[in-house]
Amino acid sequence: MSQGTLDPFQKPSQPTPADEVAAPANRWWVLVVISIAQLMVVLDATIVTVALPDAEADLHMSEANRQWVVTAYALTFGALLLLGGRVADFWGRKRAFVWGMVGFAVASAIGGAAQNEGMLFGARALQGVFAALLAPAALALLTVTFTEAAERAKAFAVYGGISAGGAAIGLLLGGVLTEYASWRWCLLVNVPIAVLAIAFAMPLLRESRAEGDTKYDIPGAITVTLGLAALVYGFTRAAEESWSDSLTIIMLVAGVLLLALFVVIQQRSAHALLPLRIVLDRNRGGSLLAMLLIGAAFIGSTLFMIYYMRIVLEYGAVKAGAGALGITVGVFITAGASASLLPKIGPRIPLVVGSLLSAGGTFWLTFITVERQYLTHVLPGMVLIGLGLGLVFTAVASTALIGVEEHDAGAASALINAVQQVGGALGTALLNSFATSAISDYMSDKEAELGPRLADPAIAHKTFVDAQLDGYTTAFAWAVVIMVVGAVVAAVFVNAGKDALPKDGAAVHVG
């Protein structure tokens, strides 16, 4: 397909190496386009977090249901990411990229115009579906565009930096848009970004696709998505009713059975979404399980860090978004240091120490009160969490690719992000369930204790704030437990030596 052809959706011919490389004059513009897309996908995981209290009040969400704004996106994104990468490879990477941008923009517009919680949740889930198509297509296009080693390293450094910094940008941008415009603009802002990216992508990007069988593991994709959704719904139902509620039990059992069925499908499928050999490797499976647990605890507890600043400390959206940046500072400090540390000591120690540091920072947050000062009682905990996460993320990115075969490199690379997203979805739902139950129990006890005195506005407000604090600290305490379990998993399963490194090219392919 020659440069300048405006129809990106015509069926591509089998590309030669020359076809897959953008002309020297425009390959850096291709990087700009792909970076814009990646930034949009990454920041959307955090941009709504700061705005969530406003959206919750505007759409009259329940405390149990509010987590769907976060989990609906993370769940569909993570569950469909492997399938999205395979579709992009065989359907056409440019085609997948452009349609992914279009779909993401439409879903964002629907979410920004949401009139009720169901409409918002559905839009967020749809965003996740198209993000699962867009993200691997963008990474694959980057790979086939930059074929010279030095330039590819620079391009991936830019891409990685955006991926790492996108969460921080999302928190700040979400705060600014919420405070000075509306929470709806945290979604609507994606529309002009996507239009701009599409306008440049059409003439700049060249089509490419992989050779081979184009069959997809649709049954696997359906069962894993439904299984995860059932678990999240079960956690939500437990917060609304109880853990002994019949529907709660039914959904949790259904979720486990569907995930078990997914494993069976993967064992028997000739086109498995997730070849089980990838996760059955001791080091890879152990590091990914640790990432699942750490991601669940961290992303889940982030929701309550923001709510603490917004509801209890009464920070504005911008101040709350900036207040969460202590975690980002910590990540950048240790992520850079651990990259040079891994070849000297191996991945196990950074994984274990990082998990325990994050657990310690989260434990620090269990002591929050209305009177606690941010600089002395909140920020240190956040920085400590970030220091731990920097060690964990770098070690997992390396360990999860140790010894991976070339034909599994794409799936192994995508699985790192998929596990983080899925962990975040499950962790947010589970911790929100614990927090909501604690808040409900606290209010019930106080209603019985105070009786008519709760009609006094001052007493009612203090009781409400105290109940929120009880819920938040309960969530933090459970997050600590999950992180410690993650540290134990890393200590038991990860035994790769300091000389174990991923095979060449393992980190730059998308499957």
Q: Could you report the average pLDDT of every consecutive run of 10 residues in the chain (511 residues)?
A: 37 41 63 86 86 94 91 92 85 90 96 96 96 87 77 74 77 92 94 92 82 78 94 92 92 96 91 85 90 93 93 92 90 81 86 96 94 86 93 84 69 82 93 94 89 86 93 97 97 81 42 35
Domain ranges of the chain: 7-214, 217-272, 275-511
Radius of gyration, CA atoms only, the chain = 23
Evaluate whether 140 touches 89 at the Cβ level (below 8 Å). yes
Position 182: which residue type? S
For domain 7-214, the CATH architecture is Up-down Bundle (1.20)
Residue pair 170/43 in contact (Cβ under 8 Å)? The answer is yes
How many angstroms separate the CA atoms of 208 and 146, rounded? 13
12/2 Cα distance (integer angstroms):
11
Q: Which two tokens stand for residue 406?
A: 């070339």
| Residues 6+ positions from 426 with CB-CB distance below 8 Å | 71, 228, 231, 232, 235, 296
Note the pLDDT of residue 137: 87
Give yes or no for a contact between 220 and 272, defined as CB atoms under 8 angstroms apart: yes
Q: DSSP letters along 203-260, please?
A: HH-------S-----HHHHHHHHHHHHHHHHHHHHHHHS-TT-HHHHHHHHHHHHHHH
- To which residue do tokens 């152990």 refer? 286
- Facing residues of 402 across strands? 502
Provide the 10 A C-beta neighbour count for residue 17.
Answer: 9
> Within 92-148, where are the H helices?
93-112, 117-145
Cα–chain center distance at 148: 31
Nearest-CA neighbor of 345 among 501, 499, 500, 498? Answer: 498
> Residue 291 corresponds to which tokens in the numbers above?
């990432």
Helix axes 348-364, 325-345, angle to 10 degrees: 160
DSSP 6-33: --TTSPPPPPPHHHHSPPTTTHHHHHHH
Q: CA 483, 485, 486, 492 torsion: positive or negative?
A: positive
Residue 373: Cβ-neighbour burial (10 angstroms; 0-12, 13-18, 19+): exposed
The whole-angstrom separation of Cα 385 and Cα 297 is 11
- The first and second tokens of residue 429, run together, are 């739902």
- pLDDT at position 409: 65
Contacts of 148 (CB under 8 A, 6+ apart): none
Is the fold of 7-214 the same as that of 275-511?
yes
The pLDDT value recorded for residue 59 is 95
CB 120 within 8 A of CB 184: no
The CATH superfamily of 275-511 is MFS general substrate transporter like domains (1.20.1250.20)
How many whole angstroms from its chain centre is CA 2?
36
- Span 362-391, pLDDT tens digits: 999 999 988 878 888 899 999 999 999 989
Closest to 76 in 3D by CA, of 116, 112, 123? 123
Rounded CA separation 12/182 (Å): 42
Round to whole Å and give the CA distance between 413 and 419. Answer: 10
- Report the predicted TM-score, pTM, of the whole model to 2 decimal places: 0.86
CB neighbour class for 276 (10 Å; exposed up to 12, middle 13-18, buried from 19): exposed
Which pairs from 342-347 meet CB under 8 Å and 24+ separation? 342/394, 342/395, 342/398, 342/498, 343/498, 343/499, 343/501, 344/498, 345/498, 346/496, 346/497, 346/498, 346/500, 347/283, 347/287, 347/395, 347/396, 347/398, 347/399, 347/494, 347/496, 347/500
